[in-house]
């Protein structure tokens, strides 16, 4: 537990450093932090799928990692509107087309029956070629483009459309410090009935409840900082480009905004747990314990991002509804 805590502190300090640079210098530093974690997570997932026996294509994920951010940044800054999002979608579609093209020209797997029938027609087919690619290999490569790459690019969309500082902080600390940390502490102290023993043997019901409570608590901390006491440090709020969920001139804005934050905490708390379980289910299917070992006591990049990716999806839907209203 000490190793896990120390690693967590180091990660918080690194994130805090990028946050300060993002606030005082440029939000590009936040984008670079996201890109760093995205590249690490993509490498880990690529390696895990390859080690599991899937034949992986190196070009599509590298193309997305290299092209996604410049495309989004340039279109968002010089064209504006939702063109940056369209650019990300275009990059994703091109990457999928690359996957399909590579798959098209790879030798296919054939059964003995198919080989025999082809031989009768004078066609030579190779049985069990080591270079043969099955449909599951194609699906694995497309899956990599979606999880984690597309999920993580949501952070750029949110950062530029809303408040970069708020989005990054909220998406990191509510599911990790609020969800994961509280779940770990509650589960370690209380123990009890297992949540999903076949998927993640160490997770308990007590831990899940603790994570849910923690997500709500941390969410309310954000409410106090960005809403309740925002008038005490307007320069900071303005520097974050944060727009209040409910206009402070509206009647009952305090309790209404508090309800929104509680709802966000609850939804993120639940879906972050599902994201964690989904990542664990994938690990079980692949046959590994952790996606990586770069963070002692925490695993790899994917082990830290599993709940964050689901949180980004929640924030995208929530912000679209809140600010549209």
State how many domains the chain has.
1
Q: Which of 17-26, 138-147, 184-193 has the lowest mean pLDDT?
A: 184-193
- Domain hosting residue 123, numbered range: 2-324
Does residue 290 have a pLDDT over 80?
yes
Residue tagged 């990054």 (tokens): 168
Give the model's pLDDT for residue 232: 85
Percent of the chain whose predicted confidence (pLDDT) is above 70: 94
Q: What is the pLDDT of residues 135-151, one digit of tens each?
A: 899 999 999 999 999 99
pLDDT of residue 207: 87
pLDDT cut 90: percent of the chain above it: 49
Residues 41-83 pLDDT 10s:
999 999 999 999 899 999 999 999 999 999 999 999 888 778 9
Whether 176 has a pLDDT exceeding 70, the answer reads yes
The pair phi, psi for residue 107, each rounded to 5°, is -65, 145
Average pLDDT value for the chain: 88
Q: Is the confidence at residue 2, as pLDDT, over 80? A: no
At 226 the pLDDT is 93
């Amino acid at each position: 537990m000490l190793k896990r805590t120390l690693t967590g502190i180091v990660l918080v300090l690194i994130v805090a450093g990028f946050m300060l640079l993002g606030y005082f210098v440029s939000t590009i530093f936040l984008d670079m932090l996201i890109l760093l974690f995205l590249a690490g997570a993509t490498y880990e997932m690529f390696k895990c799928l390859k080690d599991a026996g899937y034949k992986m294509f190196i070009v599509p994920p590298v193309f997305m990692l290299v092209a996604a951010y410049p495309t989004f940044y340039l279109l968002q800054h010089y064209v504006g509107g939702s063109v940056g999002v369209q650019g990300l979608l275009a990059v994703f579609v091109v990457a999928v087309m690359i996957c399909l093209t590579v798959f098209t020209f790879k030798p296919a797997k054939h059964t003995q029956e198919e080989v025999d029938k082809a031989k009768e027609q004078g066609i030579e087919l190779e049985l069990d070629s080591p270079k043969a690619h099955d449909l599951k290999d194609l699906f694995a490569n497309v899956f990599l483009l979606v999880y984690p790459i597309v999920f993580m690019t949501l952070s750029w969309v949110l950062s530029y459309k809303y408040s970069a500082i708020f989005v990054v902080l909220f998406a990191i600390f509510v599911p990790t410090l609020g969800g994961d940390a509280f779940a770990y502490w509650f589960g370690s102290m209380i123990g009890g009935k297992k949540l999903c023993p076949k998927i993640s043997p160490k997770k308990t019901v007590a831990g899940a409840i603790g994570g849910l409570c923690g997500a709500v608590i941390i969410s309310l901390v954000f409410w106090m900082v960005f809403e309740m006491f925002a008038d005490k440090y307007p320069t900071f709020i303005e520097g974050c480009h944060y727009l209040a969920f409910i206009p402070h001139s509206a009647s009952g804005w305090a309790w209404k905004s508090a309800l929104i934050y509680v709802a966000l905490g609850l939804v993120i708390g639940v879906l972050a747990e599902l994201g964690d379980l989904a990542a664990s289910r994938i690990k079980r299917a692949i046959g590994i314990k952790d996606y990586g070992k770069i963070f002692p006591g925490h695993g790899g990049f994917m082990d830290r991002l599993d709940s964050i990716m689901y949180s980004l999806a929640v924030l995208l839907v929530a912000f679209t509804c809140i600010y549209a209203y």
